Structure 1
Amino acid sequence: MTQRTTLAQLLADPQSAAPAVITESPPVVLTYRALAEQIERLAEQLRSAGFRPGDCVAMVLPNGLEFLVLFLALAQAGLIAAPLNPAYKTDELRIFFEDIQPRAIIMGSSNAAVIEAAAGLSLPIWPSNVESSGAVRLTGVPQSSRSIPGSPSADDFALLLHTSGTTSRPKGVPLTHMNVLRSALNIASHYALTAADRSLVVMPLFHGHGLIGAALATLASGGAVIVPPRFSASQFWGLFRKYGASWYSAVPTIHEILLQRADTDGAPDHGARFIRSCSAALAPAVLANLEKRFGAPVLEAYGLTEAAHQVASNPLPPRPHKPGTVGFGTGVELAIIDQTGRHLPPNHPGEVVVRGPDVMGGYRNDPQATAAVFMDGWLRTEDAGVLDDDGYLALTGRIKELINRGGEKIAPAEIDDALLEHPAVAEAAAFGVPDAKYGEEVWAAVVLKGDADAEQLQAFCRTRLADFKVPKVIRIVSALPNNETGKIERRFLTALFAPQS
């Protein structure tokens, strides 16, 4: 096979009659040949929409066949897919739409928040659906005499993801065909994925973990992806058995839920070739319990949106996988630097930096942030860690203030802004508190200027934020800790309230 350079060449064998995508809603087993034909049909429709190469199209879709088909069709047509969380509320979507400036929005089942957010922005909405036969349809796409010529190149952008920052507007991360393809191929190679493997996808496809780490890596290796619309603990093992899954990848929260329910749900004690964990730290004790109960090696990995997901992972046996580490670099170089940027030897803690072909070229329309995140060609992760003598990386904390709730990276400033919209709130600060289930939970402290209680403020947040961002606990305080420049010292709030969690 010729060397693959774009996502148009992702599929291991486009002519194969082997299963590629398996869904239950609707019940469909789509072969590689049928998948390739659908991608080409929809790509041709998209090429004739009158857009220019590199135009963005937002996708607000749940997990399913239509997400994968439409994402690959957009890439093949030379357009940039910008997937968004379908759980976002109107105000959140409007912020993203204003930042992305998409030429159109693809929407699945009627989503009032999408319709409302698009109103006033003159953005066309293209509804999509999956027929009972498994055919994905896209309606509302105009047909122009001007079409996008040729095929995309390796350096063309294919995917626009967002990573939360320290402001309420997350930074856009444009990834090229080569970024995404290299990452998917590296993951497939690292875990020795073959056509015999089947991945049960439980992570959202609008994140790199689900899209690249679980789905595209499998399709690049000729295996099959089993894609339920959402994670359901009660249905997980039934699907795993029914379709012969050989592995799955998830955040620690999902692993712990499956472990807690294992005996009740009649979970098997063998059958998985391996289990992957990523997007948040997995406690070594939980890793050991997972391996004991499910009879498979549990491999912890480390991913970054800016590097098209995976940058490190523990290996398959017989090589050692070390609990408490995220393994060694996969397709990229890892290093540790001190505060001056000097590279440190093994066993010296500092900031993790990454470089390689999977790494983005820079943030979208943000040269200042791009200049700050790169140092001599290395991407600064703002994660603290240490490399051992074997090159295995242990993450020891986060330099940045993001709250990592079950793998969802949440910007505290976004929650601050929502709380400050309440007429009774004078000051607000969100912060992370250690949590046994999610790794971190969202808490907030507020200074009031009127009458309100914590429950009223939580209800107010629910109208403006996705449920996972709403503070679990809100403490009413007389003042917030600020440094000499007026910035909130969130770590003091965590230290103060963490014992109460």
Structure 2
Amino acid sequence: MTLTYLPWMRPSSYDERPCVRDDRTELTYRAFAERVEAAAEHFAGRGVGRGDVVAVMLPNQVELLVAIMAAWRLGAAATPINPTFTAAEAGHQISDSGAVLVVDGASVGELPTVASGGLPAPSTDAGDLALLVYTSGSTGRPKGVMLDHGNLGAMIASMREGIHAQADDHCLLVLPLFHVNAICVSFLTPMSVGAQLSVLQRFHPVEFLGAIERLRPTYFSAVPTIYSHLVALPEEVRADVSSVRFAICGAAPAPPELFAAVERRFGFPLVEGYGLSEGTCASTCNPVDGVRKPGTVGPALPGQLVAIMAPDGMLLPAGERGEVVIKGANVMRGYLNRPEATAETLGDGWLHTGDVGILDEDGYLRIVDRIKDMIIRGGENIYPKEIENVLHAFPEVLEAAVVGGPDPTYGEVPVAFLSPRPDATIDVDAVLAHTREQLTKIKVPVAVHVLDVLPKNPVGKIDKPALRARLAGE
């Protein structure tokens, strides 16, 4: 396995090629490597060394990429943090990861741009921890997915072959870089072949089309909500998007009609993929140049094995419904300091996704349900337990349940149901104000319903399907 996405392992022929740009900075591969070396010297001067963790809490910008690479240059790992997190959310990730340094908006200006040459020669092994990507789980507390350079290298090789990435490709990055999708598909894959990357700080439909016309990218990766906004633009909004040879859609289910609408309006193929942070990024994708099957997320990417497993651990034949499980060198090392959760997810040698799917005779995967109680809002994974923990902080609340309510733009949004303690009254406005202080905006319930008693299933657990049905009937 070659780690050519690392500046110190790239071919020298890349040196003067365009590498990365944002709205303020444009760097060749040589200049980007210089920035990484300078930042690594800066980190080393602050005590960062092999085996440490550097937290990077920045919006999409070149310095975010430099900071991640600088940590790797020292043999450290990086943990990217959502820059919109509250102090409580960011504090948990910083503390849990054991980060020894935080690079944020207040400190990023200190990063030097010229190296002095004082560092020892780099040494990066496939087994070195590279990323700690935090994802929520059924316990409601985000946990660190441990990805080493072997995982990243395997993922990049898989993606590179799957999308036929070439040196003349140009990726337009619009997804947030605290997501492993943006890091692997949009950043590291083009870096591994000497292609170029343009970084957008945020998405706005008209501005995004203008960026395509101006920058001439060959591909980009986005979530269904972004494509919904693009096809909803008035017909008179036009741009030259002829440079785009394909686009990728992932992170949340999307109806086949959306894919048809995108291809009809913009003329480039839109391929749907599927994966999760625990698998480093993507495990299946409809082929760019081959048969694309609407309603599926495509076959397994090269180097990976995707199967369907019954509850008894038996692998099921084509057409049978069961849990989607994955094998490959891209599968995570485990969860940081969570041996029980790691064993539950990886214990039998397969990555258990918690998703229910069906493989057809050609190996194309269709996701039909979710085992895990997860809400996907516009591509963002939201776990109800984390929100419920905040709601339970109110002494007046006896029970709390959060489910996904249907939304025409985001697919799903969190909706809370509460029942009060005897003789207590729940102040909904106070509850919402508290959740806004504790949680990122996308996790704040769009509505809070107070019921005398929450519905229960036969074993006494809160009946969330009944709550979802209640919302669907509104």
User: Same fold, TM exceeding 0.5?
Assistant: yes
> Does structure 1 retain, via aligned residues, the 8 Å contact 2:7–2:33?
no
Tell me which of 405, 408, 411 is aligned to 2:383: 411
Q: Where do 1:105-116 residues align within 5 Å?
A: 105-108=102-105, 110=106
Q: Which amino acid aligns with 2:439?
A: L
Displacement of 1:458 in angstroms is 2.4
Cα distance change on mapping 1:343 and 1:448 into 2, 3 Å: same
For residue 240 of structure 1, what is the aligned residue in structure 2?
Answer: 212
State the SS of the aligned residue for 1:257.
helix
Match of residue 127, structure 2, among 155, 164, 168: 155
- What letter is aligned with 1:442? P
Quick check: 2:397–2:420 contact (8 Å CA) kept in 1?
A: yes
TM alignment of 1:245-256, pairs within 5 A = 245-256=217-228
Question: Displacement of 1:11 after TM fit?
Answer: 4.5
Measured after TM superposition, the shift of residue 424 of structure 1 is 3.6
Shift of 1:14: 6.8
Matches within 5 A, 1:34-45: 34-45=31-42
Matches within 5 A, 1:263-282: 263-268=235-240, 270-282=242-254
User: Counterpart of 1:58?
Assistant: 55
2:257 equivalent in structure 1 = 285
- Give the aligned residue type for 1:181: G
- Does residue 1:129 correspond to 2:126, yes or no? no
Q: Bigger shift: 227-236 or 482-491?
A: 482-491
**One-letter code aligned to 2:31:** A
Contact 2:272-2:285 within 8 A present in 1 as well:
yes
Secondary structure, in 3 states, of the residue corresponding to 1:161? strand
What CA deviation, in whole Å up to 9, does each residue of 1:361-396 have, x standing for no partner?
A: 211111111111124311111100011111111111
* DSSP 3-state at the match of 1:82: strand
Alignment of 1:59-458 (within 5 A): 59-108=56-105, 110=106, 127-129=107-109, 136=113, 151-261=123-233, 263-268=235-240, 270-317=242-289, 319-330=290-301, 331-449=303-421, 450-458=424-432
CA distance in 1, matches of 2:144, 2:331: 14
1:329: Cα distance to partner? 1.0
Q: Retained in 1: the 8 A contact 2:14–2:194?
A: no
- Which deviates further from its counterpart, 447-456 or 361-370? 447-456
What SS class does the counterpart of residue 287 from structure 2 fall into? Answer: coil
> Cα–Cα, structure 1 residues 476 and 292, in superposed 2: closer, same or farther, change >3 Å?
same
Q: How far apart, in 1, do the equivalents of 2:305 and 2:7 lie?
A: 27
Structure 2, unpaired ranges of 5+: none
> In structure 1, what is the Cα distance between the partners aligned to 2:169 and 2:347?
39
Q: Which residue of 2 aligns with 1:119?
A: none
8 Å contact 1:12–1:220 — kept in the other structure?
A: no
1:428 and 1:446 in contact (8 A); partners too: yes
Distance change in 2, residues 1:431/1:419 (3 Å): same
- The whole-number CA distance in structure 2 between the counterparts of 1:382 and 1:66 is 35
Residue 19 of structure 1 aligns with which residue? 18
- Worse-matched range after superposition: 227-236 or 246-255: 227-236
Aligned equivalents of 2:53, 2:120: Cα separation in 1: 13
Alpha carbons 1:335, 1:352 under 8 Å: kept: yes
Residue identity in the other structure for 1:213:
V
Asked if 1:471 is matched to 2:442, the reply is: no
User: Which residue identity does 2:109 align to in structure 1?
Assistant: N
Q: Is the 8 A contact 2:321 2:357 kept in 1?
A: yes
Distance 1:468 1:282 in 2: 19
One-letter identity of the residue aligned with 1:80: A
State the alpha-carbon separation in 2 of the partners of residues 155 and 304 from structure 1: 20
Q: What SS class does the counterpart of residue 329 from structure 1 fall into?
A: coil
Aligned residues of 1:47 and 1:77 also touching (Cα < 8 A): yes
Distance in 2, matches of 1:224 and 1:259, equals 27
Q: Which SS does the other structure have where 1:72 is aligned?
A: helix
The question of whether the paired residues in 2 share the 8 Å contact of 1:279 and 1:303 is answered with: yes
Q: 1:13–1:32: 8 Å Cα contact kept in structure 2? A: no
Deviation of 1:268 after TM superposition, in Å, equals 3.8
- Please state how far the C-alpha of 1:130 moved relative to its aligned partner: 8.4
CA spacing shift, 1:150–1:216, aligned 2, 3 Å? closer
Contact 1:57 1:105 in 2 (8 A): yes
Structure 1 residues 326 and 48: alpha-carbon distance in aligned structure 2, compared to 1, 3 A threshold: same
- One-letter identity of the residue aligned with 2:57: V
Q: Structure 1 residues 15 and 402 mapped into 2: Cα distance closer, same or farther (>3 Å)?
A: same
Hey, what's the Cα distance between the residues in 2 that align with 1:234 and 1:378? 43
How many residues end up aligned between the 2 structures?
Answer: 470
Give the deviation of 1:248 after TM superposition: 1.1
Deviation at 1:169, TM superposition (A): 0.8
Between the aligned partners of 1:422 and 1:344, the Cα distance in structure 2 is 46
Q: Deviations over 1:452-494 (max 9, x none)?
A: 4544432331111100001112111111234566543322211
Residue 158 to residue 259, structure 1, CA distance change in 2 (3 Å): same
The aligned residue for residue 117 of structure 1 is none
In 2 relative to 1, CA 32–5 (structure 1 residues): closer, same or farther, beyond 3 Å?
Answer: closer
Matched, 1:498 2:469: no
- Residue 349 of structure 1 aligns with an amino acid whose one-letter code is R
Alpha-carbon distance change, 129 to 486 in structure 1, aligned in 2, over 3 angstroms? farther
**Considering only aligned residues, what root-mean-square deviation do their CA atoms show, in Å?**
2.4
